[in-house]
Structures are given as structure tokens and as C-alpha cells.
Amino acid sequence: MKKILAFICSVCLCAACFAGCTYVDPDKEKGQGNQNIINQDMTITADFEGNIKVAAPDVQSHKNALNAFIKSFNVKYPKITFKVEYISLDNYKSIVTNAASSAINLNKHGIMYDVFWLSEMFINEWVLDTDFISPLTPIIEKDASFSLDGINETMLKMCTLNDNLYMMPRDYNQVVMYYNKDMFDAARVDYPSDTEAMSGAEFKQMCMDLGAGLSKSTALNGYGHKFNEQVRTIVDCNVAWNALDYPLVRSFGGEVVDENGEVVFASENTKNAIAYWKNLVDTTSGYANLAVDLSTGAAKTGGLFRMQTAPIYLHTRAVMSDLLDNVEMADQVMLAIPNLGVAPMPNFGGTYTVGAGCSGYAMYKNSVNSKAAYNFLKHVVSVEGQNAYSETGDCVPVLDSLLKAVNAKWRTCRTDKLSHDFNHNAFIFKMADSACSVTDFYPNVPLKAQSGVTARIEEAFKSGIGGKVNEIMGNVTTAANSMKRDIAQAGRL
């Protein structure tokens, strides 16, 4: 009896061991895509019937963008239906990856989304590691009716890996300086220049003046509070964000990894970058700190600017519609910024660098609705699609023609809230020369270490700003050593 039981148990155990895993040859080439899909004819007629499954983050601006694209797409192809799934942004990456892995594992490709949003930072991982994005270049080469010529070079570069285009960019996001004109008026400070970037010293001086001026102002903000009672911070932003920290390091002349893969993060320049920002955080003028102490990672950025208790906000175009509209929840209203101004990012360190990124949509390599999906992606970069998205106000288009045109939709949208002299050029200020993103150094860092190294930059900033001034170099060196560890560890696997 016992022997029978023991035998059954051991059989179960052995069976359990081999359940659910598939062995895959690690040397298989990644990123090649599904040849069946690539080689088929992707042209469709106006009455093509189909259904596309789309994944996008559950954020209002993403929802607006997707709705704009879908609506304008359905004008061209009315019979294609969409099934959209909005996924919480926190685990958006892992959910999409898991869906792909389930689909590949179980060979049921309907599980995975045909089209999904992604940022250019995900491309490396999703192509070289869990390979499920369909390369678009071979499809485009066979497609006579479409070419990538009209798309801006900078953005195309961000979406390409190993000479293959993996995602269609949908907008361009460069960090700018939003400011509240009413608060500048109350403090009697001049608006920042529209056409030139301020230097680091000028920026600090402007913040000092704002602090001093607002501490004397008894004007009321939209909620009925006096500025001198409410303003406790001048610049609202989270500096430990890869769109701000890495460009800051670069603008002071520092770099993270050089072309040979050596970590050069622990340098005098990096220390100066962090020291500059720490100086902003520690200095007070009037009742306010010049920058908010987000070294500890509190991520509620924008809150102070939205509640009209901070005059400056560093972020991208993607949040502009958030700032221009009232937000309501259960009868409580968060007011829109009444007079929004925008200026180019200051040149903090001397070498002008601005954080920039690109996001867009990509196609699953084994998509069951590949024709409809590919045509949707083409629509995203078409003039109609870009104009439709521009109506929401959040879009800086990817087509050169639209970028240059003076009356393009993205410059003339939201006239209800934006004054006619709103400086739209700030969003593309010097983008050809100075735009930079962490993906610039990704080619020099092994794949598995990339996110680690990016996180170490943030750690250096957080600990540097949170600690004492003479400890900054120590913190930077610690972060650099961690980066070396990450790279060595990734190289081993």
C-alpha cells in the first residue's frame, strides 16, 4: 500500500517537474520576425473587415491619443473594429511581456495584443531579450506605397535597432519649462525668453527673484490662497528622472559610459551637475526652496504646479492637456492653469542638452491581424493621423512637414486655453543637435545591465541631493561602482 502511494507520488513529482516549460535553444537569432507575415501582401481596401487588439497605458493622455488615432483611422477604413485594453502604467511592461510569453508558449497568438504602445526605451529588451516585436523595415521595403522619408530623422533613429525599424513613432517629447504667467506677474519677474535658453546662473537668479517676489505678494491664486502663504517651492519636478538627470550630467560635460563600455560616471562633471541641483534644493528665497526635495523619490510631480503653489514645472508636451483642463473627481475640482507659458529648457551646465524621448506603437511578430495592424501603424505616422492626435494638444508630430508648417494643427490647437503667442517652438528647440536620451549610451552597455545603469544614475542623484555636499562625490562613486557591478554581472550571463 505504502509502496503504491510512494510510487504515485514520485510519478506526480516527476510529471510536475516538466510541466509548463519549453526548452529553447539560446543561440537562436532574435529579432528576425515572422517571415510568413513579412512576406505577405499588406495592402487592404477601404472595406476591409478586421479587428485589432490594442494595449495602451491607463492614463488619460494615452486614451485621448488612441481615441484620436482610432477615430481618424475609421474614417479611412470604417469596417475595422478595435478592442482596446488599458493597462495600469506601473506594470504595463510586465503585463505586455507576459501576454507575449503566454501567446508564444501556448501557441495561441490571439492572446497577445496586435498593436501595443511602447517607448523607445523598451525596444532593446523587447527585441533582444523576449523577442516579440515585428521588424517593420522588411515589410516597408516591400510596400511600394509607403516610405519613411517624411518622418523626422531624430525620431526614426530612436525607433531603430540594428538597422531595423521596430516601432512607428507617434509623437516627440522634449522636456520644456512650463511656467505660470500669473505667478510671474505677481512676483514682478520677467518671463523667460522664448528664443534663447537661459544659463544655469540666470535660471537660479530667476528662481531667487520669484521666491522673493512671491513671498511679498498677497495676490490670490485660483483657490483663494495668498501666494505669500502658499508658495513653498519654486521648481516642481523630479530630478531623479532619466529625462532630467542624464541630460543634466551631459550638460556639465559628464558621461555615464564611454564607447568602450568603461564606466566614466564618477567624474568631477557629474559631481558638479548634482551639486548644482542640490544647491537649488537647499537655497531658500523668501519662504520657498528653489527646488523641491524629491531626492527621496516622492513621485507626485506636477501637483504643486497644478495647485498653483509653484511657478515652474519641467515636463514634456505629453502632459499639456492635463494642465489645460479642469480635473474633477466627486465634485472636487482641480483647476486648469489659467495662463500657461512655455520656454525652452535652460542650459544648466554649459553644453546644451535636453532630455527627449519618443513613444509609438509596434506590432506583435505573430499577430493574427497583421494586415490591419500594419495599416494602423502606417496611419499613425500619416498626416491625417498626426493631425488628429494634434487636436488633443499633446502631440509634437513626427513628420518634418508638420513640424515646419507655421499653421500646422499642433500649433493652432487648444486656442480656448492657449494664447496666440504661446511658444510652441520650445518643444522642438534645438532638437537636432541637443536632444539626448539614455538610449544614447545603451549600445555601449550589455542588454541586461541597461535598466540597472539607468537606475544607478537616479540613485546617485537621490543620495547626492539627500546627503551632505561633501558626500556627493562619494555617492557618485558608489553609483559608478554599482554600474560596474551591473555590467560585469550582465556580461557573465
User: Which residues, 282 to 301, sit near another protein by CB under 8 A?
Assistant: 293, 296-301
DSSP 8-state class, residue 335: P
Give SS3 for 24: coil
Pick the closer one to another protein by CB: 203 or 305. 305
In the complex, the smallest distance separating the C-beta of residue 459 from another protein, rounded to whole angstroms, is 7
Residue closer to another protein (CB basis): 20 or 190: 20
Residue nearer to another protein on the CB measure, 150 or 452 = 452
Site string for another protein, 24-53 (x = CB under 8 A): xxx---------------------------
Residues 231-290 that bind another protein (CB under 8 A): 232
Instruction: Name the residue nearer to another protein (CB basis): 104 or 197.
Output: 104
Please tell me whether residue 20 binds another protein under the rule CB under 8 A. Answer: yes
- How far is CA 233 from each of CA 103, 179, 212, 476, rounded to the nearest angstrom? 49, 13, 12, 26
State yes or no: residue 219 binds another protein (CB under 8 A).
Answer: no
Nearer to another protein, 51 or 296 (CB): 296
Binders of another protein among residues 452 to 491 (CB under 8 A) are: 459, 462-463, 466, 484-485, 488-489
The answer for residues whose C-beta is within 8 angstroms of residue 200's C-beta and 6 or more apart is 276, 346, 347, 348, 349, 350
Do the strands 288-291 and 233-236 form a parallel or antiparallel pair, or are they unpaired? parallel
Greatest CA separation for the chain: 92
Of 1, 46, 144, 406, the residue at the interface with another protein (CB under 8 A) is 1
Using CA atoms, how far residue 493 sits from 260, 450, 454, 487, in Å, is 19, 14, 19, 10
Helix axes 370-380, 60-76, angle to 10 degrees: 110
The C-alpha cell 564606466 sits at: 263
Q: At 234, is the secondary structure helix, strand, or coil?
A: strand
Name the segment binding another protein (CB under 8 A); options: 33-41, 173-181, 209-217, 227-235: 227-235
In order of 60, 125, 357, 412, the CA distances from 167 in angstroms are: 22, 13, 13, 28
Q: CB–CB of 362/34 below 8 Å?
A: no
Using CB under 8 A, which residues numbered 61 to 120 contact another protein? 85-91, 93-95, 97-98, 100-102, 104-106
What number of residues does the chain have? 493
Residue closer to another protein by CB (options 138, 466) is 466
- Residues 361-400, one symbol each (x = binds another protein by CB under 8 A, - = not), give ----------------------------------------
Please provide the distance, in angstroms rounded to a whole number, between the alpha carbons at the two ends of the chain. 47
CB of 286 to another protein, least distance (A): 13
Among 128, 264, 324, 334, binds another protein (CB under 8 A): 334
Q: Give 149 or 328: the residue with its C-beta nearer to another protein.
A: 328
Residue in 36, 145, 332, 470 binding another protein, rule: CB under 8 A: 332
Exactly one of 138, 150, 253, 303 binds another protein (CB under 8 A); that residue is: 303
Kindly tell me which of 89 and 201 has the beta carbon lying closer to another protein. 89
Within 435-454, the residues that bind another protein by CB under 8 A are 451
Ranges within 118-137 binding another protein (CB under 8 A): 130
Q: How far apart are CA 171 and CA 46, in angstroms?
A: 26
For residue 57, list its beta bridge partners: 87
- Minimal distance in Å, beta carbon 232 to another protein? 6
The one segment of 33-41, 326-334, 353-361, 398-406 that binds another protein by CB under 8 A:
326-334
# of chain residues touching another protein (CB under 8 A): 72
Total Cβ atoms within 10 A of residue 312: 26
Contact by Cβ (8 Å): 175, 345: yes
Q: Radius of gyration (Cα) for the chain, nearest Å?
A: 25
Q: Which of 33, 169, 302, 393 binds another protein (CB under 8 A)?
A: 302
Closest C-alpha among 307, 306, 305, 279 to residue 293: 279
Q: Is 432 in the site for another protein (CB under 8 A)?
A: no
Scanning 212-220, 225-233, 389-397, 422-430 for contacts with another protein by CB under 8 A, the matching segment is 225-233
Angstrom distance (rounded) from CA 477 to CA 264: 10
- What is the CB neighbour count within 10 angstroms for residue 75? 10
CA angle 236, 62, 195 (to 5 degrees): 50
CB of 330 to another protein, least distance (A): 4
| Single residue of 60, 199, 205, 425 touching another protein by CB under 8 A | 60
Q: Which stretch binds another protein (CB under 8 A): 264-272, 305-313, 337-345, 423-431?
A: 305-313
Burial 16-51 (b: 16+ CB within 10 A, else e): eeeeeeeeeeeeeeebebbeebbeeebebeeeeebe
Binding mask 306-325 for another protein (x = CB under 8 A): xx-x------------x---
Q: Is 125 exposed, middle or buried (0-12, 13-18, 19+ CB in 10 A)?
A: middle
Q: Indicate which single residue of 41, 331, 416, 421 sits in contact with another protein (rule: CB under 8 A).
A: 331
Contact 373, 37 (CB under 8 A): no
